Amino acid sequence: EDLIIGDRRIEGNLFQQVDDAEEAIKNFMNVRYDITGESMIRKNVWDYPLEAVREMLNNAVVHRDYFSHGTQTQIKIFDDHIWAYNPGDLMDDLTIEKLQGPHMSIARNPLLAHIFYLAGRIEQYGSGMERIRNALATQGQPPQTIETLGYGFVLTMKEPAAGGQTELVKKLGESSQKSSQKSSQKILKILKQNPETTIAELSKLLGITDRAVKKNLTTLKKSGAIKRIGPDKGGRWEVVG
């Protein structure tokens, strides 16, 4: 914690606080892109699943003790984990152990919980921790940890271990390779129908970047599947075979 590269104070109505806090957290996270499936739609893969981040924020707002003066909900983003503190001890007989699994919801602020539920911000009461855990699992990340700290408790989300990260990158790489092959097949079909199709037009038709189109065209040229006839401007493509 010796080096602080940025901080943000979030204010406004509760919905706005959640939305602004999510945007602030995204500014401190890395994102990579995964293009899979027939639709070729790019998927953003963040350091931590946004579903888990949103659930963490919604739960913090709904379950915070607003009569606890002098302290606020605090979120710290480190190189390898997110640390979130929320004021307010656990209600009634709810324990840390019970929070780790399915449990009955005991709302500190039942009216807020009901409003957030009606707004579609949270699902059924008592499912927040499970939703965070499931979202983290989709990216090969360990379950969140929960611990008490003073008059409140801390939720921590960690990045995957090196092995888990390697496996995730491997899967994303395999998906990227498959999607690239599908892009090449689609490019061949388009060029057969219209040999004068430009890179910009291919990019728009396939929903991928100009750079990705050029990469696919280079691969197809090297394999002998296509060749360029004439100059870059005013020329055309010829599909071989």
Q: What's the pTM value of the predicted model, to 2 decimals?
A: 0.63
For 207, other C-beta atoms within 10 Å of its C-beta total 13
Domain-embedded: residue 5? no
Report the Cα 45 to chain-centroid distance in Å.
5
In this structure, are 107 and 131 located in the same domain?
yes
DSSP code, position 144: P
Domain-embedded: residue 9? no
Q: How confident is the model over 32-57, as pLDDT tens digits?
A: 777 665 555 667 888 899 999 999 99
Domain-embedded: residue 1? no
Tell me the C-alpha distance between 61 and 63, whole Å.
6
In this structure, are 203 and 154 located in the same domain?
no
Tell me the C-alpha distance between 196 and 175, whole Å.
30
Q: What is the pLDDT of residue 134?
A: 93
Tell me the C-alpha distance between 7 and 225, whole Å.
53
Domain span at residue 96 reads: 14-160
In this structure, are 128 and 84 located in the same domain?
yes
User: Which residue did the predictor score with more confidence, 72 or 123?
Assistant: 72
**Domain boundary residue among 160, 185, 206?**
160
In this structure, are 90 and 173 located in the same domain?
no
In this structure, are 138 and 220 located in the same domain?
no
Domain-embedded: residue 4? no
- Give whole-number Cα distances, 190 to 35, 58, 95, 199, in Å: 20, 46, 60, 11
In this structure, are 154 and 194 located in the same domain?
no
Distance separating the N- and C-terminal Cα atoms of the chain? 62
Q: What is the pLDDT of residue 216?
A: 87
In this structure, are 101 and 28 located in the same domain?
yes
In this structure, are 22 and 131 located in the same domain?
yes
The CATH number that applies at residue 222 is 1.10.10.10
Domain-embedded: residue 105? yes
Domain-embedded: residue 8? no
Number of domains observed in the structure of the chain: 2
In this structure, are 144 and 187 located in the same domain?
no
Q: How confident is the model over 60-117, as pLDDT tens digits?
A: 999 999 998 888 999 999 988 999 999 998 877 788 887 777 777 778 899 999 999 9
**Domain boundary residue among 115, 144, 160?**
160
Q: How confident is the model over 8-33, as pLDDT tens digits?
A: 899 999 999 999 999 999 888 887 77
**Domain boundary residue among 108, 143, 160?**
160
The CATH number that applies at residue 110 is 3.30.565.60
Domain-embedded: residue 6? no
Half-sphere exposure of 228 (CA within 13 A, CB side): 16
In this structure, are 183 and 136 located in the same domain?
no
- Give whole-number Cα distances, 78 to 30, 84, 239, in Å: 12, 11, 51
Domain-embedded: residue 50? yes
In this structure, are 26 and 135 located in the same domain?
yes
Phi first, then psi, for residue 157 (nearest 5°) are: -115, 130
Tell me what percent of the chain is helix, strand and coil, each rounded to the nearest 5.
45, 15, 40
In this structure, are 126 and 21 located in the same domain?
yes
